[in-house]
């Protein structure tokens, strides 16, 4: 069985759990925190030199980090990754967008609100910058979802899982999703799928 080192409130860890749930892949969970220094200890750094969660230990003892890379490993050859070369590349496009344009705004702004040790970083200027960047990312998603059910092609994929993780908690970071009806319908569509689990499940 694959062992997942995860932080329950983390959207990046949630992506891996959600993908595994949809794929029917059992995980042995080891709950950790990136907030208490445990991921910076030698024992964990031997598993993942960048000291971040999530990290998985595969059945053969090898380790893999980065949430989107882990999802792609789990989903290889299955229904969450398109077989068509172009459609698969479009899924990857959304995965890169999530890590470069979406997560650095939505996830970071949420963290400033929910983690007390980061409160001192929540200056008005920083919050405004993150709000603007996050709304730009949501605009990109809205442009796609106003006329499509899913992000990366015509079927639910790892692209939807990657973007769902921090979009569905966007309001915890002060984002107003009322202006994004396509995004809101998509969020409900994802949550209604068989096999769906919540962030804290």
Looking at residue 13, which CATH number applies to its domain?
A: 3.40.30.10
The pLDDT confidence band at residue 34, using thresholds 50, 70 and 90, is confident
Predicted local distance difference test score (pLDDT) of residue 121: 86
Q: Give pLDDT tens digits for 98-156.
A: 999 999 999 999 999 988 778 888 899 999 999 999 999 999 999 999 999 999 989 99
Domains: count for the chain: 2
Among 35, 52, 75, the domain-final residue is 75
Query: With contact defined as beta carbons under 8 Å apart, do 56 and 3 qualify?
Result: yes
Exposed / middle / buried, residue 140 (Cβ in 10 Å: 0-12, 13-18, 19+): middle
Q: Judge whether 58 lies within some domain.
A: yes
Range of the domain at 166: 85-191
Among 13, 42, 75, the domain-final residue is 75
Same domain, 71 and 94: no
Q: What is the pTM of this model?
A: 0.95
Per-residue pLDDT, averaged over 22-34, amounts to 93
Predicted local distance difference test score (pLDDT) of residue 14: 97
Tokens (6 digits) for 177? 């999703």
Q: Judge whether 200 lies within some domain.
A: no
Same domain, 103 and 41: no
The CATH number that applies at residue 104 is 1.20.1050.10
The pLDDT confidence band at residue 42, using thresholds 50, 70 and 90, is very high
Question: Using CA atoms, how far apart are residues 143 and 120, in angstroms rounded to an integer?
Answer: 34
Average pLDDT, the chain: 95
Task: For residue 141, count other CB atoms closer than 10 A to its CB.
Answer: 20
DSSP string, 110-161: HHHHH-GGGGGG--HHHHHHHHHHHHHHHHHHHHHHTS-SSSSSSS--HHHH
Question: Using CA atoms, how far apart are residues 136 and 105, in angstroms rounded to an integer?
Answer: 10
Q: Judge whether 41 lies within some domain.
A: yes
Among 47, 75, 103, the domain-final residue is 75
Element (DSSP H or E) covering residue 17: helix 11-23
Per-residue pLDDT, averaged over 178-195, amounts to 97
Same domain, 100 and 172: yes
């Amino acid at each position: 069985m694959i062992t997942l080192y995860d932080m329950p409130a983390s959207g990046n860890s949630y992506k891996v759990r959600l993908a595994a749930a949809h794929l029917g892949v059992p995980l042995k969970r080891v709950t950790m925190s990136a907030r208490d220094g445990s991921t910076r200890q030698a024992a964990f750094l031997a598993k993942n030199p960048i000291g971040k969660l999530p990290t998985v230990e595969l059945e053969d003892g090898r380790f893999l980090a980065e949430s989107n890379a882990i999802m792609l490993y789990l989903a290889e050859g299955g229904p969450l990754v398109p077989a068509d070369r172009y459609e698969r590349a479009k899924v990857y496009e959304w995965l890169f967008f999530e890590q470069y344009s979406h997560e650095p705004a939505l996830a970071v702004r949420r963290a400033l609100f929910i983690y007390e040790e980061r409160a001192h970083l929540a200056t008005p200027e920083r919050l405004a910058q993150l709000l603007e960047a996050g709304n730009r990312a949501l605009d990109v998603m809205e442009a796609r979802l106003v006329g499509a059910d899913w992000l990366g092609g015509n079927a639910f994929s790892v692209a939807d899982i990657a973007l769902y993780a921090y979009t569905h908690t966007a309001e915890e970071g002060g984002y107003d999703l009322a202006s994004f009806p396509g995004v809101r319908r998509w969020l409900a569509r994802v949550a209604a799928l068989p096999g769906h689990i919540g962030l804290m499940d």
